[in-house]
Amino acid sequence: MDEKVWSGRFHEPVSELVKQYTASITFDQRLAQCDIQGSLAHAQMLQQAGVLSVEDLSAIKAGMQEILQEIAAGKVEWSVDLEDVHMNVERLLTQKVGDAGKRLHTGRSRNDQVATDIRLWLREEIDRVVVLIRDLQSALVDLADKNAEVVMPGFTHMQVAQPVSFGHHMLAYVEMLGRDGERMLDCRHRVNRMPLGAAALAGTTFPIKREMTAQLLGFEAICQNSLDAVSDRDFAIEFTAAASILMMHLSRLSEELIYWMSPRFGFIDIADRFCTGSSIMPQKKNPDVPELVRGKSARVVGHLMGLITLMKSQPLAYNKDNQEDKEPLFDTVDTLVDTLRIYADMMRGVSVKPENMRAAVLEGFATATDLADYLVKKGLPFRDSHEVVARAVRLAEEQQQELSELSLDVLQSFSSLIDEDVYQVLSPEGSLNARNHVGGTAPAQVRAQVARWREYLQSV
């Protein structure tokens, strides 16, 4: 059995139950490469500071390279007795290079070591998430381009409100995802600050060169207070908050895909490879992927609440509580990455049913506002035109007709300002084309936004 590095203080060994309860190696082993990366930079700095010899540095580099190869080959047996990834790597190194491995821990603690490892790991994951966000945006932009002129009902309060382009609707999510990407990159700046050198909580008596270590590891800045450096996990909370907002956006789109695919709407179909059937009802085609995304959004939000609660009552500096930061953070990243990957593929497998969308537009008096605007342009005050159109809608509803199906004589009975050109206004396509300004739903504006996004996505 491996002896603990701190066992000299104690009169009896840790119980097997406590070992299992307190060990983190089962999940933090994924930090091994980042841990080795940080250790190599730390060793190089210690040699420059005169703390390590050239020979020790050379031995550490060679030993770490062997360990990396063994990890990649799946040959490393992680030990629960050694608690965590840091002690496992240190023991492997010491077995290979002897005293040089023991000297590596000079001037640092597991407290600043783990804080550094998490930041190195999360920095890379943020970069991967941003790439996946852009891929999903590209899929949505392509879908928008193909459907710039497809008319669908826009909803408020889940009631038919006004006609919009299906392409315009897709671009709304492209904008949301754009802000999600911005949040991730902004968060990355605060993740990319180096705790190493804070040691346990108060710094170290050795002549370390933190600026050198930060440069070697590609950090933008150094954590300026040793207590703060080892004790806070606000960067992980911030990332999980950004991830929660992103998952919320995908959950909203999932909700729409689910009811759009229902026969009650029949607006879209999702490719079979993203759906499942029923064990008892042979006609069913269930949108399992968007349903599960909707469910997994709750999982990520739950991790955010867990991390906030984890930190809220901790006194400075490091506490064992912080071992609980990794599993929710790891699962948030895994969930986000998997969701973004499958979502981009799924959106490329969405087919649109324009006839059903247009028929739905004609069922809900979606061009009523266009008629009100028409009367305003003829000189009628908006409040008066609102009243005129409301009465026209009431009659159309009673007669089970659309506004465009009312005769000119009937429409003129509500206002003498109405003329034959009103029917162009009352058509769904006329409604779309009339909103030809930046941010509007006109097909020309949709194509302009598609071009803008494609130029941006190709440039980043």
60/51 Cα distance (integer angstroms):
14
The DSSP H or E segment spanning 221 is strand 221-222
For range 89-108, the mean pLDDT: 97
Q: Are 396 and 406 in contact (CB under 8 A)?
A: yes
Contact 354, 51 (CB under 8 A): no
Give CA–CA dist 296/374, Å, rounded.
46
pLDDT of 2 over the 90 cut? no
Phi-psi label, residue 76: left if phi above 0, alpha if psi -120 to 50, beta otherwise = beta
- Domains located in the chain, CATH noted: 7-106 (1.10.275.10), 111-206+220-358 (1.20.200.10), 360-450 (1.10.40.30)
Q: What percent of the chain has pLDDT over 70?
A: 98
Q: What is the average pLDDT value for the chain, to the nearest integer?
A: 95
Q: How much is the pLDDT for 247?
A: 98
Q: What is the pLDDT of residues 21-67, one digit of tens each?
A: 888 999 999 999 999 999 999 999 999 999 999 999 999 999 999 99
Query: Residue 184: CB partners within 8 Å, gap ≥ 6?
Result: 126, 129, 130, 133, 239, 242, 246
Query: How does pLDDT run across 161-170, given as a tens digit for each residue?
Result: 999 999 999 9
Rg, the chain, Cα only:
31
User: What's the 3-state SS for 71-94?
Assistant: HHCCCCCCCHHHCCHHHHHHHHHH
Using the predicted structure, report yes or no on whether residue 415 has a pLDDT greater than 50.
yes
Residue 365 has pLDDT above 60, yes or no: yes
Tokens representing 413?
């009975």
Name the band, by pLDDT with cuts 50, 70 and 90, for residue 423: very high
pTM of the complete model: 0.93
Q: Active-site residues: which are they?
A: 157, 278
**Given this model, what pLDDT does residue 7 score?**
58
**85 CB burial (10 A radius; 0-12, 13-18, 19+):** buried
Give the 3-state secondary structure percentages of the chain, helix then strand then coil, rounded to 5: 65, 5, 30
* Phi and psi torsions of 285, nearest 5°: -135, 105
Q: How confident is the model at residue 19 (pLDDT cuts 50, 70, 90)?
A: confident
pLDDT over 90 (residue 16): no
Alpha-carbon distance 378 to 359, whole Å?
29
Q: For 157, left (φ over 0), alpha (ψ -120 to 50), or beta?
A: left
Which pLDDT score, from 0 to 100, does residue 279 have?
86
pLDDT (tens digit per residue) in 283-333? 889 999 999 999 999 999 999 999 999 999 999 999 999 999 999 999 999
Which long-range contacts does 380-384 make (Cβ < 8 Å, 24+ apart)?
380/415, 380/417
Q: Strand, helix or coil at 306? A: helix
Q: State what percent of residues in the chain have pLDDT above 90.
A: 93
Burial of 171 (0-12, 13-18, 19+ CB in 10 A): buried
Q: What angle do CA 41, 43, 45 make, to 5 degrees?
A: 70
**Quick one: pLDDT at residue 10?**
59
Q: Is the pLDDT of residue 388 over 60?
A: yes
* Predicted pLDDT at 1: 42
Given a cut of 70, is residue 380 above it in pLDDT? yes
**404 in Cβ contact with 424 (< 8 Å):** no
